[in-house]
Amino acid sequence: MTIKLFITMKSNQLFFCVFFLLYVFNLLAQENCPMQINTYVDSNDVVSDGLRVSTHIGFFNGLEIISDLQNDRFVYRQQGSTDNFIESQVKVDGHHSLTWVDGKYYAVNTEEHKVIEFSDLTETGTNAPNYNGIDLRRPHDIVYNPTDGYIYTIDDKEGLTRFDPNNDNIAEKSEINRSSTLGYARSLSVVNGTVYIINSSRGEVIQMDDFDNWTIYESPGQKRNNKGQKINSPAGAWDKTGLVLNDVERYGDYWYGSNFFTEPYAGGHDTNKFRLMRWRTWGDFQNGNWEDLSHLLPSGVVPYYFTVHNGALYLATFHSEHPGTNDKIYKLYPE
């Protein structure tokens, strides 16, 4: 009896020791996950005029499509090709991104205050009927959520809207737009069927629990006025403004964030610090437990929208003060 009990105790101790070691090794593996970065597209890969403020790359319908903002165009090539990118015929003005659903593209035509649609990049595009009568102001991002079948947009006036691409119903507006929650929100992300609003000027990420309910994740370091209210900052530097998020995306075991840090808004502070970052949990985000990945990028470059595709993370970048200088698409993946 005593021998059996002794053996059982030893077996339990061995089990817990093994379990603890596996747990520790797993934590170390997640903490020590260095990233490799390569240039995927630069200006020399584009047929004419290079890239001037590249904000997004999408992989849709067998094509690689870049939003080339200051050149007012999309450029594209076949996925996996080494050919140069060619210019589309779609008419855009200060656009930022596009998506694709069931044979049709949808894009935010930002400076024209429209959402447009087109079936082919050789078309000029037409206004999406889903927004007839809706007074959009600088729609900034557009994403498709395959879980609920809706296309979501974010703009400066109506806030978060969505529509079903399979009918011409007018887009509906979220209740979040009636609250004082949104500042200047630059982008949207869809992760595992959940929509996230990147509340850029307030350094927040808003998780939409459903279309009319949400959870706010606040970052530390946001500057406040003498009434204790957050100061909305369209750009800045970490030490001057706190985070000014461009985009947030989930890749592997981490969330990745990009920030609009640029000298005209920095007040002499370092614009490289925390412009590219990652964290493991929303608790880490709210506590400032971030890993700074800014060293992966050239100095002065603004990282903008992320795209996850085929096991890699892609990042559109540009130089805000000198457009066309180091405007590239990067590919990141674990070493």
pLDDT tens-digit map of 130-146: 999 899 999 999 999 99
Q: According to the model, what pLDDT value does residue 13 have?
A: 56
Backbone angles phi, psi at 266, to 5 degrees: -95, -15
Residues contacting 217, CB < 8 A, separation 6+: 204, 205, 206, 207, 282, 285, 286
Token digits for 101? 């659903």
Task: Give mean pLDDT in consecutive 10-residue pieces for the chain, a chain of 335 residues.
Answer: 46 48 43 86 94 98 98 97 96 98 97 97 96 94 98 97 93 95 96 98 97 97 79 92 97 98 96 98 98 96 97 96 91 92
User: Cα(32)–Cα(288) distance, rounded to whole angstroms?
Assistant: 18
pLDDT at 9: 42
CATH of 35-334, one of 2.120.10.30, 3.90.700.10, 1.10.3470.10, 1.10.3720.10: 2.120.10.30
Q: What is the pLDDT of residue 25?
A: 43
The dihedral sign for the CA sequence 112, 114, 115, 117: negative
Check residue 1 and give its pLDDT.
52
pLDDT at 232: 84
| In the block, residue with structure tokens 């603890």 | 20
Structure tokens at 64: 């690689």
CA 117 to chain centre: 22
Residue pair 296/332 in contact by the 8 Å Cβ criterion: yes
Residue 314 CB partners (closer than 8 Å, separation 6+):
40, 57, 306, 307, 308, 329, 330, 331, 332
C-alpha 50/C-alpha 28 separation (Å) is: 42
Beta pairing class for 160-163 and 172-173:
antiparallel
The two structure tokens encoding residue 60: 């849709």
Sign of CA dihedral 124, 317, 282, 20: positive
Distance of CA 62 to the CA centre of its chain: 21
Note the pLDDT of residue 31.
52
Per-residue confidence (pLDDT) for residue 231, from 0 to 100: 78
Q: In the chain, where are the structural domains located?
A: 1-32, 35-334
Q: Which two tokens stand for residue 1?
A: 């009896």
Q: What is the pLDDT of residue 32?
A: 63
Give pLDDT, residue 22: 43
